[in-house]
Amino acid sequence: MHANGQKISLAITGMRCASCAGRIEKALLEVAGVEEAHVDFTSAQATIKGSAAGETLVGVIKALGYGADTAIRIQGSTY
């Protein structure tokens, strides 16, 4: 993300249960610049608010063994 308060959505693959979503969400919240993170198991989507770079967020998810869509969507500041 390029500015504080931006929202980014990532498609995540490889989650098998809600615990997977919780694990990813916890890791995303530890990234510098992440203000809020929500991972939805049902929709296989992560929504992150803050100033962290999209490439960093994708890298964190991949380091956990999951896939993340590198075609990110940056939205306005409404979370």
pLDDT at position 58 is 94
pLDDT at position 72 is 57
Domain boundaries, given as residue ranges, for the chain: 6-75
Q: Are strands 73-75 and 67-68 parallel, antiparallel or unpaired?
A: unpaired
> Cβ neighbours of residue 33 under 8 Å, at least 6 residues apart?
1, 50, 51, 52, 53
- What's the pTM value of the predicted model, to 2 decimals? 0.83
pLDDT at position 79 is 38
Residues of the chain falling short of pLDDT 50: 1-3, 77-79
pLDDT at position 63 is 97
Q: Which of 8, 23, 10 is nearest to 65 (CA)?
A: 23
Q: Which of 65, 56, 61 is nearest to 11 (CA)?
A: 61
Given the candidates 3.30.1330.10, 3.30.70.100, 3.40.50.1100, 3.30.300.30, the CATH classification of the domain at 6-75 is 3.30.70.100
Q: What is the DSSP secondary structure assignment for residue 55, as one 8-state letter?
A: H
